[in-house]
């Protein structure tokens, strides 16, 4: 269990600093099993902060959403820092962005929380359907203790955790300024079992599966906008001159969009699952990203989001990179 | 007698090596299949996977990327970066059910006219065996 | 209005009859998601749902609509697209049916949109009342009911082992002409049961949004810092706009090959910064605060001022699917309480 009081105290201390603009963390949602991002601009705002297994979002997307509106005459730009509350996986996103020089290390104050697993909102909604009013979730060893409208249940974590938590190798934030709690060593290993079992299918079966999935896509770009690592000023699909991906919605363009997005996250996706959670049509986007993660680990021995000093995957090369496919 | 399927292959050839090699094949009057349609780029490192996927969408049955030999890139490292990119792209296409042999890469230097012709022959025959690319072709039916 | 009873065992016969001369769209389960799709047999339908993921506006306001086709060159010609369909949408919920009436205002204003209106004229709506509204449904906040027949041509209400069928107008009567032998007049008991089902559904709706005088209240707080607080969580994903039954922003693109092309209208979202980006580079809505505020005002201020109806029907899709839990019920109720 995470010490919420300590979290609030640290946030209060951080926001009281002169050089911090705001701190973003989690607060209680408006219904059911929701937690929602919360912004603290003053020390009093820190009292709303919580951390429970319902806090599944990746807050690393917010430092990248900073807008720079045009300044009035004589006005100086606001260069204060932003504080972010991160779990293990989220911190890798920030490290990856620092590695790519998308963000300065000095621009963020990272408040890390060692995480023992969160709850997938879709799985718990299926388990507790209907009109629920009061919800409280705690975690204890390998079970979640869920109290819904007075009734308490203990459910094994394996049943409610998203897939990313089941193979989490970095429960403690990789980079942090403040750590709430003690470091946790990982007991799990990512074996890429799902990728391996999908690869047993024939080429035709694979395409049949993905064709059905890509046909569902409505090109809302929620996957792109919710992803902390999709922060291009002009996305390739918004480019009109030349237009690479048309705006009409059909299998051809949807396939192009999904494949290109997966490729552009090669070596950058840290597997937080935000895209899959944001997708309204339940397309299994993490399958594509996990496959690329597996390949780059095997081919280039590169793991995204671990070392902020490393060079990004596709910006460097090794003379002995695999080239058996080259004629 | 059924008409033989003639594949449409788009070739992105780097200006300094592969394109010159192709040029040499031409001036040496070496015969090779006419199925390759060449687009000259300054370096194989210029090839963005967006080009490859767009080519497949517009009806290409295969894509060939030609670059300089490792160590010989006119811009020092473009071919190395392209090598990494294409390796990942092929694995991704294979995972989605699109035959990775549709996207090929080759090192052809400016002196290797013969090799270029051989490469085009091999790639054309391979893609002829794979058949037309149907999976996510643009229908343009509106 | 005719009030009839149809037994559930006769129900597939009615659908089969309607399929003979119409394109019938009904809720279909596709990979665990319920969407409205065309059916050829009544067995393809799946009525075990609260509401579909994508609202049925998609059937009338297509996501990709060809406006006209053209061939360039010296012998250029333009070919307009003909829309000649007889559609029946079965299983549309009363909130989504109201949304189509709200969309009518947008497509019928200064310029009549031929594509949407032609389809609207040729589509018959058979509504299905909600027996079990979900957590985020709030149609009652707009003086509507989960069993309202106001915006449909025929309304089916599930009252146990039979359907209570209300045929509202001539369109509905014409459609059910051939199976009128399967419909029996409703007894007083049936009508009582229907009222009970409706009341039970209304009582199940637990969340309410305060909308009295909201247009007037919003007028006064346009520049209020409240909107910055609301919008700061927004990541601009656009899910709310794509799944909202009353959202109707679109973009027009030309798609061409070397020899032919077409002008196509596609859905767009005001949550994208590019939506209002002008050619000069100026963007009147540069920040998320502007865009989120604009969305709320469009639904709760501009629409009521122009057309006298709040452009929200209370379906709750945006609340269910917002990845950062921006809750429109909460946002608008609190906006009404902000001191200007």
* Structural domains present in chain B: 9-130 (3.40.50)
The verdict on A230 and A168 lying in the same domain is no
Could you say which of C156, C182, C204 is where a domain stops? Answer: C204
The reply to whether C209 falls in a domain is no
Quickly tell me which residue has 């985020």 as its tokens: C136
CB A63 within 8 A of CB A40: no
CB A84 within 8 A of CB A60: yes
Average pLDDT of every residue of chain B: 94
Phi, psi of A96 (to 5 degrees): -65, -40
The verdict on A57 and A129 lying in the same domain is yes
Count of CB pairs separated by less than 8 Å, B with C: 10
Please determine, for residue A259, whether its predicted confidence score (pLDDT) is greater than 70.
yes
Closest CA to B88 of C9, A304, A260, A275: A260
The verdict on A90 and A234 lying in the same domain is no
- List C residues 54-73 in contact with A (Cβ-Cβ < 8 A): 54, 63-64
Cα separation, A12 vs A28, whole angstroms:
18
Average pLDDT of every residue of chain A: 92
Per the structure, how many domains does chain A have?
Answer: 2
Structural domain span for residue A268: 193-315
The verdict on A42 and A126 lying in the same domain is yes
**Cβ–Cβ gap A325/B90 under 8 Å:** yes
- List A residues 81-120 in contact with C (Cβ-Cβ < 8 A): none
Quickly tell me which residue has 């990004």 as its tokens: A312
Measured CA distances, A226 to A223, A321, C9, C143, C234 (Å)? 5, 33, 47, 35, 9
Structure tokens at C152: 């449909």
The verdict on A28 and A106 lying in the same domain is yes
The verdict on C149 and C293 lying in the same domain is no
Contacts of C53 in chain A (CB under 8 A): 280-281
Looking at chain C, the number of H-run helices and the number of E-run strands are: 13, 12
Cα separation, C222 vs A283, whole angstroms:
38
The verdict on C185 and C221 lying in the same domain is no
pLDDT at position A134: 85
Quickly tell me which residue has 């497509």 as its tokens: C107
**Cβ–Cβ gap C242/A238 under 8 Å:** no
The reply to whether A71 falls in a domain is no
The verdict on A201 and A246 lying in the same domain is yes
Structure tokens at C221: 């707080």
Structure tokens at B122: 């091999």
Helices B78-96 and B49-57: crossing angle in degrees, nearest 10, is: 40
pLDDT at position B20: 95
A28-63 pLDDT, tens digit per residue, is: 999 889 999 999 999 999 999 999 999 999 999 999
- List B residues 40-59 in contact with A (Cβ-Cβ < 8 A): 49-50, 53-54, 57
The verdict on C188 and C233 lying in the same domain is no
Q: Which residue of B has its CA nearest to C260?
A: B140
The verdict on A20 and A112 lying in the same domain is yes
The verdict on C129 and C244 lying in the same domain is no
**Cβ–Cβ gap A225/C238 under 8 Å:** yes
The reply to whether C79 falls in a domain is yes
Structure tokens at C282: 């100026």
Cα separation, C165 vs A130, whole angstroms:
27
The DSSP secondary-structure symbol of B74 reads T
The reply to whether C77 falls in a domain is yes
The reply to whether A185 falls in a domain is no
Per the structure, how many domains does chain C have?
Answer: 2
Cα separation, C128 vs A64, whole angstroms:
44
**Cβ–Cβ gap B96/A259 under 8 Å:** yes
A65-124 pLDDT, tens digit per residue, is: 888 777 888 888 888 999 999 999 999 999 999 999 999 999 999 999 999 999 998 899
Q: Nearest-CA distance from A4 to chain B in Å?
A: 42
The verdict on C34 and C76 lying in the same domain is yes
Please count the CA atoms within 13 angstroms of the CA of B12 that sit on its side-chain side. 26
pLDDT at position C85: 86
pLDDT at position B2: 66
Structure tokens at C142: 């707009």
The reply to whether A320 falls in a domain is no
Closest CA to A306 of A92, A100, A113, A59: A92
Helices A251-264 and A203-216: crossing angle in degrees, nearest 10, is: 100
CB B126 within 8 A of CB A246: no
The verdict on A96 and A226 lying in the same domain is no
Cα separation, C125 vs C122, whole angstroms:
10
Chain centroid offset of residue C313 CA: 8
The verdict on A144 and A199 lying in the same domain is no
The reply to whether A137 falls in a domain is yes
The reply to whether C262 falls in a domain is yes
**Cβ–Cβ gap A322/B87 under 8 Å:** yes
Cα separation, C297 vs A3, whole angstroms:
40
Cα separation, C128 vs A66, whole angstroms:
45
A186-218 pLDDT, tens digit per residue, is: 888 888 999 999 999 999 999 999 999 999 999
Mean pLDDT across the stretch A128-135?
Answer: 85
Q: Nearest-CA distance from C221 to chain A in Å?
A: 21
The reply to whether A186 falls in a domain is no
Q: Going residue by residue through chain C (340 aa), what tens digit of pLDDT does each one get? A: 889 999 999 999 999 999 998 999 999 998 788 999 999 999 999 998 899 999 999 999 999 999 999 998 888 889 888 888 899 999 999 999 999 999 999 999 888 999 999 999 999 999 999 999 999 999 999 988 999 999 999 999 999 889 999 999 998 888 888 888 888 998 999 999 999 999 999 999 999 999 889 999 999 999 999 999 999 999 999 999 999 999 999 999 999 998 899 999 999 999 999 999 999 989 999 899 999 999 999 999 999 999 999 999 999 999 999 999 999 999 999 999 988 8
Q: Is A325 on the interface with C (CB under 8 A)?
A: no
The verdict on C38 and C168 lying in the same domain is yes
Structure tokens at A284: 């299994």
The reply to whether C25 falls in a domain is yes
The verdict on C46 and C133 lying in the same domain is yes
Mean pLDDT across the stretch A218-246?
Answer: 92
CB C220 within 8 A of CB C340: yes
B80-118 pLDDT, tens digit per residue, is: 999 999 999 999 999 999 999 999 999 999 999 999 999
pLDDT at position B126: 95
For β-strands C250-256 and A143-148, DSSP reports them as unpaired
The verdict on C169 and C258 lying in the same domain is no
Q: Nearest-CA distance from C127 to chain A in Å?
A: 23
The verdict on C245 and C263 lying in the same domain is yes
Q: Nearest-CA distance from B37 to chain A in Å?
A: 18
Could you say which of C204, C228, C256 is where a domain stops? Answer: C204
Closest CA to C62 of C186, C248, C235: C248
Closest CA to B56 of B141, B142, B130: B130
Q: How many CB atoms lie within 10 A of CB A19?
A: 9
Measured CA distances, C51 to B2, C94, C209 (Å)? 52, 10, 20
Q: Is A317 left (phi over 0), alpha (psi -120 to 50) or beta?
A: beta
The verdict on C239 and C273 lying in the same domain is yes
pLDDT at position A187: 87
Closest CA to C33 of A284, A115, A244: A284
**Cβ–Cβ gap B142/C257 under 8 Å:** no
The verdict on C189 and C220 lying in the same domain is no
Contacts of A252 in chain B (CB under 8 A): 57, 136-139
The verdict on C170 and C229 lying in the same domain is no
Please count the CA atoms within 13 angstroms of the CA of A147 that sit on its side-chain side. 7
Closest CB to A300: pick one of B84, B92, B139.
B84
Closest CB to A327: pick one of B96, B106, B139.
B106
The reply to whether C325 falls in a domain is yes
The verdict on A175 and A198 lying in the same domain is no
The verdict on A22 and A171 lying in the same domain is yes
Closest CA to A317 of A301, A294, A298: A301
Could you say which of A126, A144, A179 is where a domain stops? Answer: A179
The reply to whether A56 falls in a domain is yes
The reply to whether A187 falls in a domain is no
Could you say which of C173, C204, C235 is where a domain stops? Answer: C204
A132-179 pLDDT, tens digit per residue, is: 888 889 888 889 999 998 889 999 999 999 999 999 999 999 999 999
Question: Residues with Cβ < 8 Å from C304, sequence gap 6 or more?
Answer: C214, C215, C310, C311
Closest CB to A210: pick one of B97, B99, B137.
B97
**Intra-chain end-to-end CA distance of chain A, in Å:** 56
3-class SS of residue C74: coil
Structural domain span for residue C188: 2-62+71-204
Could you say which of A150, A179, A208 is where a domain stops? Answer: A179
Please determine, for residue B1, whether its predicted confidence score (pLDDT) is greater than 60.
no
The verdict on A135 and A247 lying in the same domain is no
The DSSP secondary-structure symbol of C82 reads P
Cα separation, C289 vs A241, whole angstroms:
29
3-class DSSP string for chain A: CCCHHHHHHHHHHHHHCCCEEEEEEEEECCCCCCEEEEEECCHHHHHHCECCCCCCCCCCHHHHCCCCCCCCCCCCCCCCEEEEEECHHHHHHHHHHHHCCCCCHHHEEEEECCCCCCCCHHHHHHHCCCCCCCEEEEEECCEEEEEECCEEEEEEHHHHCCHHHHCCCCCCCCCCCEECCCCCCCCCCCCCHHHHHHCCCCHHHHHHHHHHHHHHCCCCCHHHHHCCCCCCCCCCCCCCCCCCCCCCCCHHHHHHHHHHHHHHCCCCCCCCCHHHHHCCCCCCHHHHHHHHHHHHHHHHCCCCCCCCCCCCHHHCCCCCCCCCCEC
Its ipTM equals 0.94
């Amino acid at each position: 269990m995470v010490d919420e009081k300590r979290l609030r105290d640290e946030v209060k201390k951080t926001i009281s600093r002169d050089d911090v603009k705001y701190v973003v963390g989690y607060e209680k949602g408006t219904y059911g099993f929701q937690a929602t991002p919360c912004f603290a601009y003053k020390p009093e705002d820190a009292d709303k902060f919580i951390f429970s297994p319902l806090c599944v979002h990746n807050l690393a997307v917010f430092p990248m959403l900073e807008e720079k509106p045009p300044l009035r005459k004589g006005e100086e730009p606001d260069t204060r820092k932003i504080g972010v509350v991160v779990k293990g996986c989220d911190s890798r996103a920030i490290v990856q962005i620092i590695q790519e020089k998308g963000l300065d290390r000095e621009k963020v104050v990272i408040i890390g929380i060692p995480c023992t697993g969160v709850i997938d909102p879709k799985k718990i909604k299926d388990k507790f359907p209907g009109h629920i009013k009061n919800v409280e979730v705690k975690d204890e060893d390998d079970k979640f203790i869920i109290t819904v409208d007075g009734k308490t249940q203990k459910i094994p974590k394996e049943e409610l955790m998203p897939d990313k938590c089941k193979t989490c190798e970095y429960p403690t934030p990789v980079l942090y300024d403040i750590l709430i709690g003690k470091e946790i060593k990982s007991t799990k290993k990512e074996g890429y079992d799902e990728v391996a079992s999908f690869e047993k299918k024939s080429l035709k079966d694979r395409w049949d599966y993905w064709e059905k999935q890509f046909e569902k896509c409505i090109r809302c770009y929620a996957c792109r906008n919710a992803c902390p690592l999709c922060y291009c000023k002009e996305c390739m699909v918004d480019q009109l001159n030349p237009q690479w991906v048309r705006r009409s919605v059909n299998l051809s363009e949807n396939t192009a969009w999904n494949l290109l997005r997966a490729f552009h996250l090669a070596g950058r996706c840290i597997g937080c699952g935000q895209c899959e959670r944001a997708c309204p049509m339940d397309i299994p986007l993490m399958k594509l990203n996990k496959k690329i993660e597996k390949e780059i680990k095997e081919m280039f021995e590169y793991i995204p989001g671990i070392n902020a000093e490393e060079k990004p995957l596709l910006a460097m090369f090794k003379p002995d990179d695999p080239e058996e496919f080259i004629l | 007698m059924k008409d033989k399927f003639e594949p449409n292959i788009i070739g992105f050839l780097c200006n300094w090596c592969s394109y010159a090699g192709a040029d040499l094949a031409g001036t040496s009057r070496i015969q090779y299949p006419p199925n390759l349609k060449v687009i000259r780029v300054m370096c194989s490192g210029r090839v963005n996977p967006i080009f490859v996927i767009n080519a497949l969408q517009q009806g290409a049955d295969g894509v060939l990327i030609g670059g300089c030999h490792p160590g010989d890139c006119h811009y020092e490292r473009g071919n190395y970066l392209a090598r990494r990119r294409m390796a990942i792209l092929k694995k991704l296409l294979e995972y989605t059910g699109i035959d990775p042999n549709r996207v090929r890469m080759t090192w052809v230097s400016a002196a290797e006219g013969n090799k270029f012709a051989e490469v085009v022959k091999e790639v054309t025959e391979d893609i002829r065996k794979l058949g037309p690319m149907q999976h996510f072709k643009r229908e343009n039916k509106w | 209005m005719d009030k009839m009873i149809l037994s559930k065992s006769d129900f597939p016969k009615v659908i089969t009859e309607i399929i003979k001369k119409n394109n019938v769209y009904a809720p279909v389960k596709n990979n665990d998601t319920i969407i409205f799709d065309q059916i050829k047999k009544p067995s393809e339908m799946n009525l075990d749902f609260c509401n579909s993921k994508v609202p049925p506006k998609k059937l009338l306001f297509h996501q990709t609509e060809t406006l006209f086709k053209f061939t360039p060159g010296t012998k250029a010609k333009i070919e307009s697209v003909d829309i000649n369909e007889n559609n029946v949408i079965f299983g549309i919920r009363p909130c989504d049916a109201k949304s189509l009436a709200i969309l009518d205002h947008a497509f019928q204003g200064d310029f009549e949109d031929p594509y949407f209106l032609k389809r609207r004229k040729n589509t018959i709506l058979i509504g299905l009342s909600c027996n079990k509204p979900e957590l985020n449904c709030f149609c009652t906040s707009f003086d509507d009911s989960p069993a309202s027949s106001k915006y449909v041509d025929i309304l089916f209400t599930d009252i146990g082992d039979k359907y209570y069928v209300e045929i509202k107008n001539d369109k509905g009567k014409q459609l059910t002409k051939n199976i009128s032998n399967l419909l029996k007049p409703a007894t007083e008991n049936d009508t009582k049961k229907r009222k009970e089902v409706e009341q039970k559904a209304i009582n199940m709706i637990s969340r309410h949004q305060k909308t009295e005088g909201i247009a007037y209240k919003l007028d006064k707080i346009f520049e209020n810092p409240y909107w910055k607080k609301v919008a700061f969580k927004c990541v601009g994903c656009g899910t709310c706009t794509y799944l909202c039954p009353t959202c109707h922003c679109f973009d027009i693109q030309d798609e061409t090959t070397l020899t032919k092309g077409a002008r196509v209208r596609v859905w767009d979202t005001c949550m994208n910064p590019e939506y209002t980006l002008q050619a000069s580079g100026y963007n009147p809505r540069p920040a998320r605060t502007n865009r989120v505020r604009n969305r709320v005002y469009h639904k709760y201020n501009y629409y009521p001022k122009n057309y006298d109806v709040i452009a929200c029907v209370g379906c709750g899709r945006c609340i269910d699917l917002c990845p950062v839990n921006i809750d429109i019920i909460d946002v608008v109720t609190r906006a009404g309480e902000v001191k200007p």
